[in-house]
Amino acid sequence: MTTPRLRLAIAAAFFTYILAVRTWDITGTFLMLGDQIRDWTVALGGWRDLPLAGPPSLAGGRTLGPIFYWLLWLGRVMAGPFTDNLPHTGGIIVAVLQSAGDTCLLWVLMTRVPVSLALAISLFAVSAPFDLGLSAVIWNPPVAAALAKIAMALVLTLGSEPPHWRIGVTAAVAWMALQAHSTGAFVGVPVLAALVAVPLVGRQWRRALQVALLVSVVVIGLQVPYFVAQARDLGTPLAPTVVIDSFAQASSLDVGKSFSMVVDTTGDLLVRQMGTWTFRLPTLFVLAIVLVSWRRDLPLLAVSAGCLATAVALFATWTRPYDSYWFLTLTTPMALTYGLSIAAIPRPRVVQGAGLVLLAVVVALQPARIAQSKLSFKYPEYRAMLVGSRQLAVQAPVLRDIRVTFAVHPSMDKYFIYTILGGRMDATAAQTAFIEADGRVRIE
């Protein structure tokens, strides 16, 4: 569709823009609560101390692999020296991963559909207020979403008979998305299925068997750390126990209810209309178009309609409450599904025109969507804690206590930044410090 040089320029500008939006004022609003402090403490340790399983999961046990902690640690090693290893470094790392995933997918889409439509799809997905608010938070769901988007991009570049090493890399990234968070399965499962389905559809039976064996070896190999962690602590339940129980105790399948919940919740994350819109009928319509128009492109179906279908199947027995962030990995596949229905129009000029119109609308909506994203997952108190702790680390390297004169979340550790900067708490020290709401400090 475009020259590689032009695609590179567009991709670079796109990456720069979305990374800047995600990390803007991160030193003043970074979310530093109990979970973030726990995970950043792990990242501050040595590589020998890295866990072999992921963080605790609401789905039961711990997530299926340590990739979240390993990526966070690697990012800290690379970026930490430039940021004093402060907690917001972790937010920058997550934002970089997210932006890299979005840019990889944009790069591939620009080879499949007109540039204007590819940009409209990508920019609309990344500026979803909920996604944007979470995209610079130390938390495993946005990392799963980043890995899922990289897997989507990889599988779309494979072609009919790619070398086995590329299949292995794609399978590894897809499975790591699931390791980072259980909702990575919405993308990881259809991507892995597509790897095997492509040679099967082509009646390449031997190659299909080779690919299936390769995928199995990759998945089992990536699970070795988790199996070792389970062997070390036999009392830890295998994750995801809640999901397994839901399947085991299901009395019936309710595909209709599951479909409605999946598309309505994901659509709400994309447009942030707080339940005022329904997406069932429009999504059924565009799914029909995509399934007919792209029926010969299994990888493309897998990363669009296939992701939605996987989520619907997994939630068909679900009877518990839903959390919005579970659908974070589905926002890009859903936006892509709608975009592909436009790309299916048989007149290229109409598609290009529609892409330009959509891109103009998405660009015009950027200020409002960015402003909406700032209403959640922000912690303005971080600025005062950061500024005050910096001053204290210089003026009083040893303190008996630190007290804050403004309200903070109960799970926030008021000593955390101070100790990272080299300060030391000692119950026998003579001085106590006070941090004011504007970051000023008093030492008594």
Mean pLDDT of 250-264: 84
Residue that is last in its domain, among 339, 372, 405 = 372
Q: For residue range 120-133, list pLDDT tens digits in order.
A: 999 999 999 999 99
Percentage of the chain beyond pLDDT 70 is: 93
What span, in angstroms and rounded, lies between the C-alpha atoms of 191 and 160?
14
Q: Is there a domain that residue 41 lies in?
A: yes
62, two tokens: 């711990």
Same domain, 147 and 186: yes
**Count of CB atoms within 10 A of residue 276's CB?**
8
pLDDT score of 46 more than 70: yes
Indicate if the pLDDT at residue 37 is higher than 90.
yes
Please tell me whether residues 68 and 141 are part of one structural domain: yes
Tokens coding 264? 């309505």
Specify if 325 maps to a domain: no
Domain carrying residue 435: 381-443
Q: What is the mean pLDDT of residues 11-17?
A: 97
- Percent above pLDDT 90 for the chain: 81
* 139 domain residue, yes or no: yes
**Helices 185-201 and 205-232: angle between axes, nearest 10 degrees:** 150
Torsion sign across C-alpha atoms 374, 378, 381, 385: negative
366 and 428 within one domain: no
Residue 124 lies in a domain: yes
Q: Is the pTM of this model over 0.85?
A: yes
Over residues 27-31, the mean pLDDT reads 94
- Give the pLDDT band (50/70/90) at residue 88: very high
pLDDT score, position 99: 97
Compare 306 and 273 and report the one with higher pLDDT: 306
> 59 falls in which pLDDT band (50, 70, 90)?
low
> What pLDDT is stored for residue 275 in this prediction?
64
Indicate if the pLDDT at residue 378 is higher than 80. yes
90 and 172 part of one domain: yes
Domain-terminating residue out of 322, 338, 372: 372
Residue 170, domain member (yes or no): yes
Is 299 inside a domain boundary?
A: no
Residue 13 lies in a domain: yes
Q: pLDDT of 135-149, one tens digit each? A: 999 999 999 999 999
pLDDT digits (tens, 9 = 90+) for 200-249: 998 999 999 999 999 999 999 999 999 998 888 776 666 666 666 555 55
Residues 239 and 385 in one domain: no
Q: What pLDDT score was predicted for residue 393?
A: 94
Q: What mean pLDDT comes out for the span 47-53?
A: 91
pLDDT score, position 312: 94
77 lies in the same domain as 99: yes
Q: What is the pLDDT of residue 96?
A: 97
pLDDT, position 135:
93
Per 3-state DSSP, the chain is made up of helix, strand and coil in percentages (nearest 5) of 65, 5, 30
Q: What is the pLDDT of residue 287?
A: 96
pLDDT at 311 over 70: yes
As a whole number, mean pLDDT of residues 55-61 equals 72
Cβ–Cβ < 8 Å for 122, 17: no
Residues 357 and 433 in one domain: no
Q: CA dist 219 to 136, 147, 441, Å?
A: 28, 15, 52
Q: What is the pLDDT of residue 249?
A: 59
437 and 353, same structural domain?
no
Q: Please tell me whether residues 173 and 231 are part of one structural domain.
A: yes
72 closest CA partner among 101, 103, 41, 48: 41
- The closest of 101, 88, 182 to 138, measured between CA atoms, is 88
Name residue, tokens 């259809």. Answer: 190
Beta strands in 63-154 (DSSP E): none
**pLDDT tens per residue across span 324-365:** 889 999 999 999 999 999 999 999 999 999 999 999 999 999
Instruction: Note the pLDDT of residue 157.
Output: 95
Instruction: Yes or no: say if 416 and 39 are a contact pair by the CB < 8 Å rule.
Output: no
Confidence of residue 414 (pLDDT cuts 50, 70, 90): very high
What pLDDT is attached to residue 160? 82
Do 423 and 357 share a structural domain?
A: no
Residue 159 pLDDT exceeds 90? no
pLDDT greater at residue 322 or residue 183: 183
How high is the mean pLDDT of the chain? 92
One domain for residues 353 and 438: no
For the chain, what is the domain count? 2
Last residue of a domain, one of 316, 340, 372: 372
Q: Is residue 343 part of a domain?
A: no
pLDDT tens digits along 423-444: 999 999 999 999 999 999 999 8
pLDDT computed for residue 250 by the predictor? 57
**Do 385 and 363 share a domain, yes or no?**
no
Interval 181-212: pLDDT, tens = 999 999 999 999 999 999 999 899 999 999 99
